[in-house]
Chain A
Amino acid sequence: MEEGAEVVARARLICGEQHVLTAPTVLSTYRSDGLRRSGPLPLAAILPGSAAEVAGVVSACAATGTRFVVRGAGTSHSGGALPTADGVLIVLTRMRRIVALDEGGDEITVEPGAPPAALARAAPARWFADADPIGTVGGHIAETPGIGNVCGLELVQSDGTSVRLDARDPGYGITGAFPGSRGRAGIAVAITLRTVSRR
């Protein structure tokens, strides 16, 4: 069987045929990052459309022993978005919904592929202290240590299981420690950010 065929087949069942890309000409789009460095062609670029699909794809990777790299818009300068030749890319740019905006706009929950501009559109009277103008919210948080306004996360862990975290809950400060973890602490499939008033 061709390398990666099984995980690709599983991913197509989970995400749909059109969201699992394997053609080399198409995959070349996903080889580079914000510094235009080129990595190898991955086995596939998989674009899940929901948290459940991310969990399913990660489970498929775990079951088939396939390495994966998680990617947003691929604008980082750290190399964190570059694929490996023996793995797949999980690309989160289809997941760009605003999930919730609480009364008064103190907190907003978004999917990781949402562009930062979507935050300002959803809550124009609020300000996002650590928002980067480019890329995706998820990519920015995964690649930037010290971001202080993450107050909730839904994570898909490396075995495909999910966990919800709220900064108000007692326990280890995982929501605060997550920014800058570069995908090594799980995939954030929903991110709640604390906002401040735009004066």
Chain B
Amino acid sequence: MSETVVPRSFSEAAAALAGAAAQERPVRVVGGGTKLGWGGAAPPRALRLLTTHLDRVVVHDDGVIATLNAGTSLVRTQAILGRTGLMFAVDPQLGLGRPAATVGGVVATGDAGPLSHRFGTVADQIVGITVALSDGTVVRTGPRSGQEQDGYDLAKLLTGSFGTLGVILAVDAHVRLVPAETATALGSSGDPGLLRDVVEVVTARHGDLEAFDVAWIAGRGGLLAQLGGDESNARAAAVAQTMRACGLDGTTVRVDDAGLWARQRAGQRSAVRAVLRVHTRRRELDVVLKLADEVGGTLVGRAARGIAYLTLDVGRIAAVRAGLPAGSAAVALDLPAGARGAVDPWNVGEGSELELMRGLKAGFDPARVCNPGVFVGGI
């Protein structure tokens, strides 16, 4: 059984990390524990550093930035922000069972959901970060830190770093207004090329979408476009009209749309099959949909961002990677028990890019104690 520390302050977390570094003992950072299977395997004797007591949310007086401590669950974060009509515009699936995902886990993995259509990636939401480094120092960056950026923007660099550069303790994040009402336009087709073309038209004509997703299963799929705020129902009807004019079937508008989007988020995770996060150019959506059919997979994703979550059998991952257009990426997120170790989750070859990343790791974490082995190239 791994030893576990549960720091109650940033300084306690930094001291625990430095202590582990002094003993050359790897540290596995754990939030809600909902994504521990992602990436490579952590060393078995790693010290578990549990962030869940670092659970504080502070909305600053400007009303646009909040400091979110890493161990705060996303559910609690949104509940606290929601009291004043605000939200952290990051909405991934919050776990395979309990919705236990924490701010730190979501930032560390860069996990996102449908709202990324409007608000961008997790990194786009983060303007500052507080991190413990393996030498025991606590570094805060961003506009609220009073420190000027010197080199890389650390908040962007640490987002999606899988905790391999340091322990994320808190982030300063944009907060957004929760729309008072939403409505979703829907349309379907069995033609991947048509769906690709409709995405182009809807994106060009309707720049006010909160979310714009695609779903695909067994040769048929659809587009979901969510509008929020004033007259969302009428605006969604206009989007549905565009979809209809482009040739989609079954176009309609749903006002009670929460279940639709919950299904989209749920499609990003699987407890029994593999999930590949595929990143292509937007105009390659049809290629990805056809690949999903060829490998017997199901797909949800961000229609206009080139990001898709493909649920499939482990044995078909190689076929997907081989069939994607040049310049695409396919990262294996969920893998069924027993398949870990048989599949490289990252699929990044040796080269100057990986060397640069290894150099960054060595600079931030020379003791190599922060989540070693979980990231690309065994970083």
Contact = CB atoms under 8 A, between A and B. Distances in A.
A72 B134 CA distance: 37
A179 interface: yes
Contacts of B120: 148
A102 interface: yes
Nearest to A162: B352
A85 B200 CA distance: 53
A13 B29 CA distance: 52
B156 A164 contact: no
Interface in A115-169: 145-146, 148, 157, 161-166, 168-169
A173 interface: yes
B12 interface: no
Interface stretch (B42-50, B68-76, B274-282): B274-282
Nearest to A106: B282
Contacts of A171: 346, 348, 353-354, 357, 375-376
B337 interface: no
A199 B209 CA distance: 14
Contact of A173 (B157, B329, B331): B157
Contact of B331 (A145, A157, A162, A170): A170
Given A103-B283, A104-B200, A168 B153 contact: no
Contacts of B327: 166, 168
A148 B329 contact: no
Interface residues on A, range: 20 to 34
Nearest to B120: A148
B149 A168 contact: no
A178 B348 contact: no
Given A170-B331, A170-B348, A181-B149, A176 B156 contact: yes
B280 A169 contact: no
A185 B329 contact: no
Interface string B313-349: 0000000000000011101000000000000001110
B345 to A, nearest CB: 9
Contact of B160 (A163, A168, A172, A179): A172
A174 B204 contact: no
A180 interface: yes
